[in-house]
């Protein structure tokens, strides 16, 4: 995926400061915030970020940690084709250099460049599949923990 992204970013039809830009974030800076509307996706060039969410539990908001990402990671990809509400908050753990890419401009570029489009979507499919697999594992572990804590497993056949 990194190779195809470099090719896209070097294309004269996908201009820096119009379709994409470089951003620098200091530690503890929020890059995106859960619940806000966004239209860009990010690729980390250097540094580390933490992805968190917030859930309501008995009238309290609890911050949940999902994962950490480092160089080469993509986030905010749900905004590829249109503005979307951000599903999580992403905060810089260290200094972070990232590329911020306008999702709609990237989508148009990929439509006009089918080879790069295929390679990009193939890479995104791999990223999203691995994240879904990790989420499924976490849900299964949480379910097993809940069954054990509440002594429900003895009632299951």
Sign of dihedral through CA atoms 70, 6, 95, 36?
A: negative
Residue 156: which pLDDT band, with cuts at 50, 70 and 90? low
pLDDT at 61: 79
What domains sit in the chain, N to C, each tagged with a CATH number? 2-155 (2.60.120.10)
Above 80 in pLDDT, residue 153?
Answer: no
d(CA 32, CA 96): 13
Above 90 in pLDDT, residue 57?
Answer: no
d(CA 8, CA 52): 29
| Ramachandran area for residue 28 (φ above 0: left; ψ -120 to 50: alpha; else beta) | left
Burial class of 79 by CB neighbour count within 10 A (0 to 12, 13 to 18, 19+): buried
pLDDT, tens digit, 9 for 90 and up, residues 24-54: 999 999 999 999 999 999 999 999 999 998 8
Report the percentage of the chain scoring pLDDT > 70: 97
């Amino acid at each position: 995926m990194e190779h195809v992204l470099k090719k896209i970013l070097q294309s004269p039809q996908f201009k820096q400061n119009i379709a994409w830009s470089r951003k620098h974030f200091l530690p503890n800076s929020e890059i995106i915030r859960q619940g806000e509307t966004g239209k860009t996706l990010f690729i980390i060039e250097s540094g580390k970020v933490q992805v968190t969410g917030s859930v309501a539990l008995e009238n309290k908001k609890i911050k949940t940690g999902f994962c950490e990402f480092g160089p080469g990671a993509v986030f905010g990809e749900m905004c590829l084709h249109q503005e979307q509400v951000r599903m999580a908050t992403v905060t810089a753990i260290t200094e972070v250099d990232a590329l911020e890419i306008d999702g709609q401009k990237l989508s148009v570029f990929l439509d006009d460049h089918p080879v790069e489009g295929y390679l990009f979507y193939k890479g995104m499919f791999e990223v999203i599949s691995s994240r879904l697999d990790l989420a499924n594992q976490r849900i299964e572990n949480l379910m097993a923990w809940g069954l054990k804590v509440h002594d429900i497993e003895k009632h299951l056949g």
